């Protein structure tokens, strides 16, 4: 009887641990964290002088089970007033020259970064959506686009600018806003273009027709999508009254 009780206790304990493990894994999956640490080791971050390029290197196991040295340009990591922010869609990375004690361990980037008052603040962020693809470090850009578009489409842009994407008979849902943002971010729009601006932000421009997403008729809409990792919604989207000129004036 005692042995059965111990076995039952052991089984229940295993179930609890499994549930906790799944919960933690789900949390990190939702956060868009990188999967490469599962099959890569010897991580290192280094800066190439004169190029404004920061790289991540690691030794990764390929599909044959062999170690392969790989490196990748880190994208969209910025020091904003002592705080590291990131979204790979921003493209440029500029934290290395204003941070110190930079280290990476199991996909977590840590550093002390200078704020506007000259004080160095402690940071630790998980690198987003970098995977090991047959021994090569690789950004899962499609996942980044999906996550970013969803946050923008379901964020403050919906109640503030949703009516700008309506047809004569229908108003957009958050899902429609997400689809429009995704197409702009994917350059699936007329006259699609993008550029970095400000500190750690990137603007995307494209012309879409709301009637492609909703019943009813509408005129074409020149649309700006701004990716801003410092924003809780990761950015915004809207139809500027002065169209392409608004995008061109962003600096």
What is the DSSP code string of 195-249?
Answer: EEETTTEEEEEEEE-GGGTSSS----EEEEEEE-TTSTTSEEEE--TTTHHHHHH
User: What pTM was estimated for this model as a whole?
Assistant: 0.84
Q: What is the pLDDT of residue 32?
A: 67
**CB-based burial, 37-61: b 16+ in 10 Å, e otherwise:** beebeebebebeeeeeebbbbbebb
DSSP string of 27-96?
HHHHTTB--GGGTEEEEEEEEETTTTEEEEEEEEE-TTS-EEEEEEE--SEEEETTEEEE-GGG-----G
| Order of strands across the sheet that contains 108-114 | 99-105, 108-114, 120-126
Chain Cα centroid distance, residue 12: 38
3-state secondary structure of 108: strand
- The DSSP bridge pattern shows strands 77-80 and 83-86 to be antiparallel
Ordered mean pLDDT values, 10 residues apiece, the chain (251 residues): 38 35 36 87 92 93 97 96 97 92 97 98 97 97 97 98 95 97 97 95 97 94 97 96 96 94
CB contact at 8 A, 222 and 180: no
């Amino acid at each position: 009887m005692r042995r059965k009780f111990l076995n039952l206790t052991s089984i229940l304990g295993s179930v609890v641990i499994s549930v906790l493990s799944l919960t933690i894994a789900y949390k990190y999956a939702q956060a868009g964290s990188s999967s490469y640490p599962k099959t890569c080791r010897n991580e290192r971050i280094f800066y190439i002088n004169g190029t404004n390029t920061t790289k991540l290197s690691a030794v990764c196991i390929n599909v044959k089970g062999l170690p392969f040295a790989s490196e990748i340009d880190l994208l969209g990591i910025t020091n904003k007033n002592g705080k590291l922010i990131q979204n790979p869609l921003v493209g440029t990375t500029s934290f290395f020259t204003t941070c110190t004690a930079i280290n990476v361990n199991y996909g977590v980037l840590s550093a002390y970064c200078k704020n506007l008052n000259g004080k160095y603040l402690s940071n630790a962020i998980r690198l987003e959506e970098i995977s090991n693809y047959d021994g090569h470090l690789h950004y899962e850009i499609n996942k980044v686009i999906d996550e970013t578009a969803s946050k923008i489409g379901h964020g403050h842009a919906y109640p503030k600018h949703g009516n700008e994407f309506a047809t004569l008979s229908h108003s957009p849902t958050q899902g429609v806003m997400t689809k429009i943002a995704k197409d702009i971010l994917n350059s699936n729009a007329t006259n699609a273009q993008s550029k970095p601006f400000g500190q750690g932000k990137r603007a995307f421009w494209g012309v879409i027709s709301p009637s492609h997403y909703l019943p009813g008729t509408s005129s074409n809409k020149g649309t700006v999508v701004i990716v801003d990792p410092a924003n809780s919604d990761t950015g915004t989207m809207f139809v500027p009254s002065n169209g392409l000129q608004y995008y061109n004036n962003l600096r």
